[in-house]
Structures are given as structure tokens and as C-alpha cells.
Chains A and B, each alone.
With several copies, the nearest count.
Chain A
């Protein structure tokens, strides 16, 4: 009997991914950090740590706190800036045969546009736009919490770039589907969600916040139910592909997100706990399809029954 290998490929617009398993920005460094644990070329794509126009040293420590089934982080988007990124990180990223997605962030609309422009000549697979950052010109309200701003950032990045544009949505909103719709209208190729939920922890001994930044982003298994609900809501609202993120650490988690409507998924915090997890999930997903006699992973996408 011939056992056919299941088809793991998925597509985001014209971009074909070998499989739907990606790594989430900020949790996988620039890929190289995990080269000893994972065969990077087996992943659907890797998303690098967020890059800004100027270098950022990030927030003072402490920057991370363990919480119940999750963690808070307030890294403060530490990164070398786009210049150093292009000269020092890009060359090694080009050795990987899997797709490389560059996550960008800005304090103003112009910064996002500039970053899109600067990435034009690179061989990257896509740009992911982190709009959870505060807009310094609009009093620090995050771009991602206002549909109008989501639309504007998307349009500008879309116009200045020749790459697929993935808009990464913030969950700290009343109606995330409205943000997804704004991104779609602005010309996004896909939306990814969720970024972290704003949280806090207090050291009762010192009576100070456990994070120097006071508040930070909650991630990990704790947030999975929220992320899954949002992915499901967004997938019903928009036609562009949805990339599911939030607390994914097992094959079951991956399948849940695909059924809820995700075309691909990203693994975040789980990489930090189990550095081999991304490749394990590629294998695990293939086995799951084999065992359940599902010929192609595409059959799972949006497969939720009523």
C-alpha cells in the first residue's frame, strides 16, 4: 500500500508556504538562535524580532515575569535598527530556504512607510506590521486600537512595498474584526493575530510592579482561548488569509486554529520553553493528517462545524 505524504502547503496570496507553521516575532530571535534545535528550513516561515528605523535599547530590567500558564514581557522592542538589521542580520537570514518575514514597528506613520521602503530590495517573503506600538503623534494611543489608523498604516505600507503585507493585530480592542476589516480595506495581504494582551504583576514585598515598565504583554497557553475566539471572529469577517497566534504549543492547538479559520499559525512563547517545538509541530501536524487520513492541511482551514 502506498502511503501518500499529506500536502502541508498553504498559500498567503501568491506566497506559497511549505507548511503553516511559522515562528512569532520576538520569540525566535533572528532564527540563528534556534539553529541548533530546529532545522529552520523545515518551517513554513520564520518571523524575526521587530525592527524599527532607529536602534532601540529596549526597556530597563526586569523585563519578563512568569505568570499562571503564561508570561508578561516588556522588552521594549529592543532591536539594532533597520540599517544594522540589513547589514548584519539580513545576510545570514538569506541562507535559510524557508520564508523570512520581517516584523516592523514605528512610532509614527512615516516610520512604518520608511521601513517598508527600506525592505524593498531584500529577498524576504513578507512584511509583518506590528501596530501594537503607541503612536507618539496621537498621544500614545496604539495604532492597532483605532480602525482609521490601522487603515492608514496598512495603505502606506502597501503603497511603499512590493511584498505581501501582514498586519499584526492587537487584542486590546473591543472589536478586533473591525480592525481586521480596516487592514483588509487598506490592502493587507493577510492579518496575523493576536499580539500580547496588556497585563501587570506586582511584587507585594517591594510594592512595585514586577516589570520596570509597569505593564507588559501577556502571552502563552493562558491566552489561547482568547486568541482562538478572535481568530474565529476575524476569519468570518475578512477574506484575506488569517494567521493565528496565541498560546500555541501542541499539534491540537495548531489544528484548533486552522479549524477556526487560520491559514497558518505562529508559535511564540512555546519556542522559549521548548526550543525544538517548531519543528516538532511540523512533524506532528504531518502525523496528525496521516493518522486522520486527511490528504491536505488546507482541508482543515475553516473546517469548524456549526
Chain B
């Protein structure tokens, strides 16, 4: 083994807890080596360890939702075969986990932080909120969470319970909070509360709206992107996205240069 301290690990993590409600699952995995070096906004790539099938082939990427005492938690939605297979796993079974991967959020030194999440993009905001609070317990942290419907927000009940956080909700169908878009919440919150650092994770149209708003208001803004990934470690170059200046910079790679980018660095 090379003697440098490892920034990434591949390990066999036992599932300690798994629970699914509707199509939303929460899974807690024993992964001390990964937890030890993990930062908010990073992700892991997982595959059931006992799975000798090559179909589906790829590992699946998930954001770090929580990291406590060597246990890491992910929250995922069942959308296809990979997530369906994961949802069928049980406590005691073993997951092959690679991580932590990518570059996470830069914690801003601003006194005020707007965490803007949509749908499953809310997942990384829990660890982000805790990290900001740990760095500076005086920070004002406002989470603005949007989803299609209240059920989806329920998957993130623990985030809404964090005491150092102010939470506002928006749903497309009006079943919780503001009946409308999360960008509306951001505009109102900034208007009422003042400038701050913006962190955003969610569907592309949402993040684009957030980024354009921040550009207009000159607020520092980070967005967390998703692309299909094969390796997650910067080797295959499959996860390209256009940089802000396509001609000059060529492409950025979500798994290595991101998933979190300064909004100004990418093509909106």
C-alpha cells in the first residue's frame, strides 16, 4: 500500500437501519473510514456487496445525508432498478461503498446561509446545515425546501427538526407550505432577511432559477449537480458538464470538479 493518507475508501459497510415509506428510503451504513473524512456535499457510490449480477452494471451515487459516529445515512427515492434493489436490502446485509467522492460545499464565512433544496436534492442539506453550524454556531441558517408534495418532504423530517435551522416549505400541489416554487421562498427570504450565501441542490430548472437570481442579486451561490456516473473518481470522463465558457474551459466533470460548483463556473 502507498503510504499517503487516503482521501477515498472502498469498504464493505453493514446496513444498520433501513426503512422505506412510499418510495422514499433512508439507509444507515457502518462506514467509519468514509465518515472520518467526509464533508457536506460529497457523495458515495454503492452496490449491494453480494450482488454478482452485471445488470444493472453501474454503482449508484447518493449524497451524504448524515454522518454520525462512523455511520453514514443516505436518503433515496426509488426511481429505477438500482434503487429498487437497494430498497429491498435489509439491516445486517452488506453494501459495497466507495467514498467520500467529489468536492463538497465551500462553507461561506457569511453570517447568513440560505440552503435551497428541491426533492431528493434536499438530502445533502442536513450535513451541510450541521457543518455550517459547527463552524460557526452563530450562523443564521435558513432552509428553503421544495417538493412536488408533502409526502416527499416527510422523508426529510429530521432536517426540519434541527434546532439551529429555520425551515420554510413549498410544494407544487400546496399540500405543505407555500403553494408554488421554492425560488419564491428564496426571493421573499432574502428580501426579508437580507443577503447571505446560497447553496442549492435539486432539479436543474430550480437550481438554474436560483443561480440566475443570485447572479442578478450578486449573492454567492453554489449548486450541486447530478449526471449519470460510471466511476465517480474522475477516471472515465463520463460525467461532463459544460463550463461557463464552453469554448475556453471545455468540460467540467461532476464527480471530480463537483458535484458542487460555484454557479458562475458552469453553463446555466
Contacts and interface: CB of A to CB of B under 8 A. Distances in A.
Interface of A: 26-29, 33-37, 39-40, 49, 57-71, 73, 75, 78, 220-222, 249, 269, 271-276
Interface in B1-30: 1-2, 4, 6-10
A273 B59 contact: yes
B230 interface: yes
B251 to A, nearest CB: 6
A66 B228 contact: yes
A63 B58 contact: no
B6 to A, nearest CB: 5
B238 A73 contact: yes
A69 B250 contact: no
A171 B72 CA distance: 44
B219 interface: no
Contact of B236 (A62, A69, A70, A73): A73
A220 B236 CA distance: 13
A29 B232 CA distance: 12
Contacts of A40: 2
27 contacts: A27-B231, A28-B235, A33-B231, A35-B2, A36-B7, A37-B10, A58-B237, A58-B251, A60-B240, A60-B242, A60-B251, A61-B240, A64-B236, A66-B230, A68-B54, A68-B55, A75-B237, A78-B250, A221-B54, A221-B57, A269-B57, A269-B230, A271-B235, A273-B57, A273-B58, A273-B59, A273-B230
B233 interface: yes
A69 B54 contact: yes
Chain B: interface size category: 20 to 34
A27 B231 CA distance: 8
Contacts, number: 112
Contacts of B58: 66, 71, 272-273
A134 B4 CA distance: 41
B87 to A, nearest CB: 19
A33 B55 contact: no
B98 interface: yes
Contact of B8 (A26, A37, A59, A272): A37
Contacts of B240: 58-61, 63, 78
Contacts of A62: 227-228
Given A58-B240, A62-B227, A276 B10 contact: yes
A100 B38 CA distance: 32
Contacts of B234: 29, 33
Contacts of B1: 39
A272 B255 CA distance: 12
Nearest to A78: B237
